[in-house]
Amino acid sequence: MDPILALEVSGVSRLRAINDATSRGDSVVQKAYAGGVAFVTGASGFLGKHLVEKLLRSTDIKKIYMLVRPKKGKSVQERLNDILSDPVFDTVRKQSPFSEKLVAVAGDINDVRLGITDQDWTLLAREVNFIFHGAATTRFDEPLAVAAITNVRGTREVLTLGRSCKNLRSLVHISTAFSHARISMKQKNVMEQFYEVPITAQELIDMAESGVTDDAATKLMQDWPNTYCFTKAVAEDAVRTMSDGLPVCIVRPSIVIGAYREPAPGWVDMSCAYGPAGVMLGVGLGLVHAVLADRSVKIDIVPVDAVNNAVLAAGCVTAGLPADTSDIRIYTVTSSRNPVTWGSCGDVHRTESRKISTPKAVWYCYAVDTSNKFLFWLLFWLLHYIPAYFVDAVCWLIGKERRFVKLYTKAYKLFTLTSFFTTNYWQFSDKNLKHLLDNLNETDKQIYNFDVTCIDWKELMLIWCMGLRKYIVKDGLADTDYAVKKQFWLSIANAIVLCLYAYMWYKLFTVIYSGVMFVGSLV
């Protein structure tokens, strides 16, 4: 059996215990959602699709309304069909028909009242029991006005819908652990509590609607690294000040990566190619060789199934709280209790993951980690930009598309935007999450497991690599032995090329130095 297939079979075998627990019938979380109606925003995204799938597979949910934005040339039903074609639904699709449980609601998180028609709004207000708000723009370089409309005003509109729901049992707002991982909080504890923000949610919404100047944005965000983290922090303040006694809670995941166990080991979607998985993908294909990161920094990552298990458990507990409670609980889903460093993750990829290399790799897979921005810039030019300009020039001469400089420009931008998180660390408190876990019964601990101390990081890294091969590279999880041999010969070719490349630069600097000395002697 191909080594990568053996890894997949091993991962799938671990699902049996979860499936057995799911059919047992003594799950409190399952009973909470049975016969209920949910409304999900962000259902077309990575986290949202997985959440919908887990609801369908593990509970007897009656109906799920999904906010879907119409696109040019496609109806919301066509877009829903596209969402359902994702492999994430393959497992639940084999179990039982579920399409009649899913209803696409035309709307847009960027619009007032979510862009929902009065008729649909009335329908949702009458039927919905659970709201999961996960829609957001996650672009770090989004203009503040755009991020504020999506992340802050969108949250306000979801809360407005929640207040309209006659039988609402819980509303889960999905935030990020980095909402308050501010510059001034480096290496400090980030607690599961609300923190002060420099502007109220309504003030930021008003500012965004009228236009935000660059000076105003800089002043507001001086303690935050990007507009995403800042607007998610203000969105949490919107929950605190605008929920008006709603049964609401907040779940703060850190960096969300591919599935560890469910619904299939390693599941990711194409959107993951633009985050941390994109770095792994670039290295795994032999395209990226310089990485801006501190090997000693603890990288806070969690698999998507752990996050959504926590989301569903939190929604269940929130639904069971007394109606008059004013306490908004915050649950942080991070790897703080089972930390892993960037360096140890990289070491797994330098050693063990070579045994499951993809045959589609175009060059030898290696990477140099550095936290020094100048050294990274220098390495990026030497290892990426200069070769890319040369290859693009050849492409131009033979009439092919020039794309390598553009590719590496995007990669460089990704590294610079994420360097705040790969070169710094925060200690995230997760006492509320641990309390939530400890109070689940044994069946729920199996079905909705979000205990990060159970994660074997070496295993997860390999499963993540497998998922990238299966769902993004799409190499059929075949020819791994060939890929390993290919890497051996590419390593030799790489050593030869690097020696010649270094010699070329040596000769070039020798000529330049001789020329400078000659001109100096004339002067």
> In the predicted model, is pLDDT for residue 109 greater than 70?
yes
Q: What is the pLDDT of residues 379-396, one digit of tens each?
A: 999 999 999 999 999 999
> In the predicted model, is pLDDT for residue 214 greater than 80?
no
Tell me how many degrees the CA angle 58-59-64 measures, rounded to the nearest 5: 115
Q: Has residue 379 been placed in a domain?
A: no
Indicate the length of the chain as a whole number: 523
- What gap in Å lies between CA 505 and CA 300, rounded to an integer? 39
Phi, psi of 264 (to 5 degrees): -145, 135
- What gap in Å lies between CA 90 and CA 213, rounded to an integer? 47
CB 28, CB 54: distance < 8 Å? no
Q: What is the pLDDT of residues 232-256, one digit of tens each?
A: 999 999 999 999 889 999 999 999 9
CB 136, CB 150: distance < 8 Å? yes
Sequential DSSP letters for 367-394: -EEE--HHHHHHHHIIIIIHHHHHHHHH
81 CB neighbour count, 10 Å cutoff: 13
pLDDT confidence of residue 98 = 86
> In the predicted model, is pLDDT for residue 323 greater than 70?
no
- What gap in Å lies between CA 37 and CA 168, rounded to an integer? 9
Least confident of 19-23, 96-100, 129-133: 96-100
> In the predicted model, is pLDDT for residue 264 greater than 90?
yes
Candidates 404, 363, 356, 366; CA nearest to 493 is 363
Number of domains in the chain: 1
Distances (CA, A) of 255 to 10, 300, 427: 25, 6, 14
> In the predicted model, is pLDDT for residue 513 greater than 90?
no
Q: What is the pLDDT of residues 143-173, one digit of tens each?
A: 999 999 999 999 999 999 999 999 999 999 9
The alpha carbons of the chain give a radius of gyration, in whole angstroms, of 25
Q: Has residue 327 been placed in a domain?
A: yes
Residue 167 is encoded by which pair of tokens? 């039988």
| Residue 471 DSSP symbol | I
Q: What is the pLDDT of residues 136-145, one digit of tens each?
A: 999 888 999 9
- What gap in Å lies between CA 315 and CA 194, rounded to an integer? 19
Distances (CA, A) of 320 to 33, 248, 314: 11, 11, 10
Q: Has residue 359 been placed in a domain?
A: no
Torsion of CA 408, 410, 413, 417, to 10 degrees: -130
Residue span of the structural domain in which 334 resides = 21-270+299-338+426-455
CB 135, CB 48: distance < 8 Å? yes
pLDDT confidence of residue 451 = 95
Residue 235, beta-bridge partner list = none
48 CB neighbour count, 10 Å cutoff: 22
Segment 202-212 shows an average pLDDT of 90
Segment 209-233 shows an average pLDDT of 89
Q: Has residue 363 been placed in a domain?
A: no
CB 289, CB 280: distance < 8 Å? no
SS3 27: coil
Q: How confident is the model at residue 74 (pLDDT cuts 50, 70, 90)?
A: confident
SS3 245: coil
Q: Has residue 375 been placed in a domain?
A: no
pLDDT confidence of residue 523 = 64
Residue for token pair 């199934």: 305
SS3 percent helix, strand, coil of the chain, rounded to 5, is: 55, 10, 30
Q: Has residue 344 been placed in a domain?
A: no
Q: Has residue 283 been placed in a domain?
A: no
CA 434 to centroid of chain Cα atoms: 22
CATH number for the domain spanning 266: value is 3.40.50.720
Helices (H), 212-323: 214-220, 227-242, 276-284, 304-319
Question: What integer best gives the mean pLDDT of the chain?
Answer: 92
The residues, any chain, with a CB within 8 Å of residue 499's CB and separated by 6 or more, are: none
> In the predicted model, is pLDDT for residue 218 greater than 90?
no
Q: What is the pLDDT of residues 282-320, one digit of tens each?
A: 999 999 999 999 999 998 999 999 999 999 999 999 998
> In the predicted model, is pLDDT for residue 458 greater than 90?
yes
| Residue 184 DSSP symbol | G
Q: Has residue 137 been placed in a domain?
A: yes
Residue for token pair 């007897």: 60
CA 432, 313, 302, 40 torsion-angle sign: negative
Sequential DSSP letters for 195-214: ---SS-HHHHHHHHHH---H
Segment 445-464 shows an average pLDDT of 94
pLDDT confidence of residue 325 = 62
- What gap in Å lies between CA 411 and CA 419, rounded to an integer? 12
CB 334, CB 452: distance < 8 Å? yes
Read off the amino acid at residue 31. Answer: K
> In the predicted model, is pLDDT for residue 485 greater than 90?
yes
